[in-house]
A and B are shown apart, each in its own frame.
Chain A
Amino acid sequence: MDTERQRKEAIVRRQETSFFWALIHVLGSLELAILLLATIALVCAVATVTESNFSTRVAQHYIYKAPWFNLWLTVLCVNLFAVALTRWPWQRKHLGFIVTHAGIILLLIGAMVGKEFGFEGSVTLNKGEPAKNRVTIPRTIFQVESPKDAAIYTHPLPVDVRPPSPEKAQVYPLPDTPVRLRVERYSEHLVQGTQLAPSRDGLPGLALRLSSGSLKRETMANLVLGSPETARFDFFGLALVEWVEGLSVPKPQKKAPDFFRETQMILAASPETPVVHNAGGAASGYRVLLEPDETEGRWKVTVVSPAGMQGSWPLPESLKKTRSLSGDPVEVVVEEFWPDFAMKEGKPVSLSAEARNPAVLVNLKGPRPESGAAANRPVFQLAPAGPDRVRYHMLRNGVVYGKGELAAGETMATGWADWQATIVKVLPQAALRPQVAESPDGEGTPGIFVRLIDRKKQEGEAQWIVSGTAQALEMNGEIIRIGFGQGVQVLPFWIRLDDFEVPRDEGTDTPSDFISTVTFEQPSTGRKLTATAHMNYPASFPGGFWRSCLGQNYKFSQASWNPENLNETTLQVLYDPGWPLKWFGSLMICLGIGIMFYFKPYSRKKPPAAGAPPEKIEKDETPVVV
């Protein structure tokens, strides 16, 4: 007890005599520890609510991954380190305490190492695609090519957490040039369209707006004379808008009927992937299904026309007989039926009479289905009629049912539901220019709206840059190329998807696992490895036990899939050199807490007798370690 008292006195004394020890005792004070623990808990609670109300990226950007939060964690590290020092010289009873605190420090250092020297990203792979070595980092950036030496510079641009707006534009300096980049807008719904622009050697052009009040939709038709591609606008397949030199009524054409002849082979096990062979070229669009016949306990063949006409015939009675669909001229002949299909010596055979793997071969013959429908579509024909004026008429089946003249800015009803047409612009000499615009119906890709500015606040022309592309921007004769998109990390090896499987829960479509088989290839070492990544079991490259322990492996975990494309898989990529520190720190924390609570020499009073009323114990026994 005497040495114990001496130790305590020494600890008190050194704080009075040495500034270093006084500082250590302040930094390692319990008060500071409690303050840190409580504030971190509180901040985290606020962050989860922020995440729920805004988005994960916002919570990460402003709180979890913000510099001040990291600073706070660093202060926690310092506090943990200092508090361990305050107990110096350590004694046996401090073992658990030291191990725990050192474990937390190691864990936090591991996290910082991982953040600084490792990376997290994702890569989407498709079966049959060439190998990739580029991984997407979940962070948006812009890249600029230096006008001096064509070197590429990358700068973070967190548009998804801090979207720029015309009022809150973001200005970034560019390397090797006095002009700067101003990011004015961010949109997630950009689509590629066209724009009607004056052109000295162009032909007459028309910009027409079609809008529907009840559907709250509008669409632009930008047309230029010269070719059917630029002078025609297909209105959702329901009608046709034509921009012509002069109005005319086309004679109803008598085309020679276009016939097709098609063979389809269908396995009942994979109804979505028929083997189609069409003698005339493109597939006819008829669907053939092989299904169990509910009433007879047999199988039946069903043929569905593109227009939705349907016919079903039982097997094997309908074999080799010509059948047709009601209201459709197609002829259907079921050539073969194999109840238990297999390929033997290159020939299809049935292994048995039992319906284990039914398959069917069907021949289809008939006129091409599209030719009939298109002729009935209404046609809205417009022709130039002097400056800013057009003449129009509406046709159906070669009959004019409405006509008139419109000036720019005027609107007319089309007679197609409540759609209205507005003449926006008529140009005597025009050309179509590709143009990126925001889509009104919430589809498309992300992009930024930027322009160059100089010190005198002069502005260059603004442009959209779609994610994953680059644009040349001009200012005072200087041309600067700017790219925008997700950050990219280049791996020192290549990865290719060999196979992707999605096993399902029995009798349902619910996935029970996702299994990607990938091949890694490292040209520099010649190392090649085929591995599988499935849920909970990542694929590692270059692989090996020690690399895994030391965090030197690239880990590919199954991250997501595309239910509509089963050849596509997305893998999460992790390279984390901080891993051993995290792992070892974690182990120390658990061990340390265990030692602290359960393997500590502290004097316990004799336990109270069984069932005795506990009120007899006088002293608060809650142990306190110092």
Chain B
Amino acid sequence: MKRLLLFSGWLSLFLAAPAHAVLESDAFARLAVQDKGRKKPYTTFARESLQMLAGKAEYPTPGEGKMSAVEAVTSLWLRPSDWEKRPVILINYLPLKEALGFPKEQKLFTYNQIVDQEAFRNLYAETQKLRKESANPTLNRMQKEVEQVAKRLGAFEGLVTGRAFAVVPHPSQPNGAWVTVDQAASYYPGGRAEKLQGIFADYREAFLAGKSGEAGKSVSALAAEAALLSPAVYPPARLLELEHFYQGIHPFRLAWIAYLSAAIALLATTAWKTAAGYRIGWVLVLAGFFLQVSGFVCRIVISGRAPVTNMYETVIWLAFGTVLFAIILEAIYRGRYFLLAAAPIAVVSLILADNTPTVLDSAIHPLVPVLRNNFWLSTHVTSITLSYAAFALALGLGHIVLGKIAFGKSGQNLAVLHQYVYRALQIGVLLLAMGTILGGVWANYSWGRFWDWDPKETWALIALLSYLVLLHGRVAGRWGGFGLAVGSVLCFQTVLMAWYGVNFVLGQGLHSYGFGSGGFRYVLMYVAAELVFVGVAVWKAKWAPGLKERPASEAEIAAG
């Protein structure tokens, strides 16, 4: 119980952290902005804009502490001249910094610093030329990064010119373009625009004078007036507030904290207070799972679709699936190992999603046309990603088996763990087969063919085949439970290739909406570490006779 108390204390600390900005940002939450094809609360717009420009959720100002995203973006809007000298545009790619003659350690640069570089202009002209020559050019890493920086420059221009702040709703069409406060009269002639502009002028004055109380009031009035102009088009206040709430509480961050605590509780009590530790582990895993489900519910309501449409969402979905299967299997087998295997995997994927905004973009964007089908999204994509989750669970269990062999004492009986690995593999194989086939059926409708060896299709098949080899080898008596554990780690590398590799390394084929860049070196390092780990375990198993596995005997086969 003590542990629980401690944990809830930790939680409240976490929730309290952003409290200093609450007042103003709550007022801003009700102000909607039309940005990148979607209406969103100003707070989200600010966070995404700063994330896009600087790759950060808060802007560090030397000597003045940190500016919240809302503060920074509003300042860009209303006090643009301040930002001429402020470094705010992220360049993260070392060779690009070298090409531009920028210092290696520096990450943020001013707009003029980059635009004045002839080298940058030339590099950008090169990518533009490639884009002109072909609709889908193959760009190298440097060219992709240059385009990314150019996008940041464009976003900066949109902010400092005020163009990006489309807060005045279209008078009639739900999908019509919104305009800025300056342009309001084109939609609302006859004095209505003037009222809005008056409120905005008050706000600008209060902001520039640094009167935050008055500014907060003006923002609320501005939001209310904008909503009044076109009530049918303006998003309902509760939807804006829900999104603000979702962005504010970071449900997936809370979830990984719960899972991490669960993993620690389970690990710490393997030899001491086992039953109590097991119970605490259960409670924490369920708490994390509940937080994750709540997060998904928010995201589904906000975006109106299954939360599996980009790399960020699938990484979170993997954590969800892994824990889901662990909970189900743990409820059946009560072996403790499912929770212990799932928690670290969920923690790693959620931390990755939480902390690599430039690689895994958490923003909610409109989908490319082909993905706009909730039926196929929620069948094909969820079953594929759930299969990855089941394989990840098998990977976690495999790690436990190999860890016990590599670092544990000899003479252990791991048969039950082998069975757990097998159970997780079964779920994965069934879901991957289903998901791949459903993908074929979807492709038959959207692309006009069932199967055409697209890289994503092919790698899903390769992953499936590699797991089939693993299972058939087991049936043939080529390897036993230990082989399953080794295989669950090795075969997961094919899943990684199908999932990450096709999108981020090959970058070819029709699944192009998921493509991205970054993180390749770390993934390679991970793969290398896995191979070393497997190598050590296999070597240990060979040299410690007590651990050596025997293939299934004829008698066992007959019994089956």
Chain A residues at the B interface, C-beta cutoff of 8 Å? 5, 8, 30-31, 33-34, 37-38, 40-41, 44-45, 47-49, 51-52, 56, 59-60, 64, 111, 114, 120, 292, 294, 296-299, 339, 353-356, 442, 503-508, 510-514, 535-538, 555-557, 559, 571-574, 576, 579, 582-583, 586, 589-590, 593-594, 597, 602, 607-615, 617-626
Contacts and interface: CB of A to CB of B under 8 A. Distances in A.
A41 to B, nearest CB: 4
B474 A624 contact: yes
A601 B502 CA distance: 40
Interface in B149-172: 166, 171-172
Interface residues on B, range: 35 or more
Nearest to A610: B334
Contacts of B437: 586, 589-590
Given A583-B441, A586-B437, A297 B193 contact: yes
User: Which of A44, A47, A59: most chain B CB closer than 10 A?
Assistant: A44
Contact of A512 (B186, B369, B445, B507): B369
A350 to B, nearest CB: 13
Given A506-B38, A621-B415, 13 more contacts: A44-B465, A48-B455, A354-B190, A442-B133, A510-B37, A510-B366, A537-B445, A579-B444, A582-B440, A590-B434, A597-B426, A618-B413, A622-B481
A353 B190 CA distance: 9
Given A45-B462, A614-B335, A624 B177 contact: no
A602 B556 CA distance: 13
B448 A555 contact: yes
B506 interface: yes
A493 B540 CA distance: 69
A219 to B, nearest CB: 20
A64 B453 contact: yes
Contact of B415 (A114, A505, A618, A625): A618
B465 A37 contact: yes
B448 A34 contact: no
Contacts of B184: 297
A572 B449 contact: yes
Given A507-B177, A614-B337, A623-B560, A31 B476 contact: yes
A420 B296 CA distance: 68
B475 A30 contact: yes
Given A33-B472, A37-B468, A593-B429, A44 B186 contact: no
A625 B559 CA distance: 9
A621 B419 contact: yes
B475 A626 contact: yes
Contacts of A37: 465, 468-469, 472
Contacts of A38: 465-466, 469
A602 B448 contact: no
Contacts of A514: 369
A590 B380 CA distance: 13
Interface in B428-468: 429-430, 433-434, 437, 440-442, 444-451, 453, 455, 458-459, 461-462, 465-466, 468
Contacts of A612: 334
B293 interface: no
Nearest to A43: B462
B369 A299 contact: no
B108 to A, nearest CB: 27
Contacts of B174: 506
A6 to B, nearest CB: 12
Interface of B: 34-39, 133, 166, 171-172, 174-179, 182-187, 189-190, 193, 274-275, 278, 332-337, 366, 369-370, 372-373, 376, 412-413, 415-419, 422, 426, 429-430, 433-434, 437, 440-442, 444-451, 453, 455, 458-459, 461-462, 465-466, 468-469, 472-476, 478, 480-481, 484, 494, 497, 502, 506-509, 552, 556-558, 560
A64 B462 CA distance: 13
Nearest to A69: B453
A537 B373 CA distance: 10
A52 B505 CA distance: 9
B481 A507 contact: no
A98 to B, nearest CB: 15
Contact of B412 (A30, A33, A442, A615): A615
A622 B274 CA distance: 26
Contacts of B558: 5, 8
29 contacts: A31-B476, A40-B465, A41-B494, A48-B508, A51-B508, A52-B508, A292-B179, A297-B184, A297-B189, A354-B190, A504-B175, A505-B38, A506-B176, A507-B37, A507-B166, A507-B176, A508-B36, A510-B366, A536-B376, A555-B448, A574-B448, A586-B440, A589-B437, A608-B416, A611-B275, A613-B274, A618-B415, A620-B419, A625-B560
B419 A299 contact: no
A622 B422 contact: yes
Given A37-B472, A356-B171, A512-B372, A538 B445 contact: yes
Contact of B474 (A52, A557, A622): A622
B interface SS class: helix
A579 B451 CA distance: 11
- Residue in A299, A506, A512 whose Cβ sees the most chain B Cβ within 10 Å: A506
Contact of B334 (A590, A608, A622, A625): A608
B557 A626 contact: yes
Given A114-B450, A620-B481, A622-B419, A355 B336 contact: no
Given A33-B472, A535-B370, A590 B430 contact: yes
B446 A535 contact: yes
Contacts of B426: 597
Nearest to B176: A506
A11 to B, nearest CB: 12
Contacts of B476: 30-31, 34
Contacts of B459: 44-45, 48
B508 A111 contact: no
Contacts of A40: 465
B274 A617 contact: no
B469 A41 contact: yes
Nearest to A604: B419
A582 B450 contact: yes
B449 A44 contact: no
Nearest to B468: A37
A511 B185 contact: no
A287 B202 CA distance: 40
Contacts of B434: 590
A573 B444 CA distance: 11
Contact of A609 (B171, B334, B412, B444): B334
B186 A506 contact: no
Given A34-B472, A508-B36, A589-B437, A538 B370 contact: no
A294 B469 CA distance: 67
Given A510-B37, A626-B560, A559 B448 contact: yes
Contacts of A619: 415
A536 B446 contact: yes
B44 to A, nearest CB: 15
Contacts of B193: 297
B513 to A, nearest CB: 12
Contact of A557 (B183, B335, B372, B448): B448
Contacts of A611: 274-275, 278, 334, 336
Contacts of A589: 433, 437
Given A120-B449, A442-B133, A48 B372 contact: no
A593 B412 contact: no
Contacts of B370: 535-536
B107 to A, nearest CB: 29
A625 B557 CA distance: 8
A557 B475 contact: no
Contacts of A559: 447-448
Contacts of A614: 335-337, 416-417
Contacts of A571: 448
A615 B182 CA distance: 73
A621 B560 CA distance: 10
* Top 5 closest pairs, chain A to chain B, by CB: A297-B185, A505-B37, A572-B448, A292-B186, A557-B448
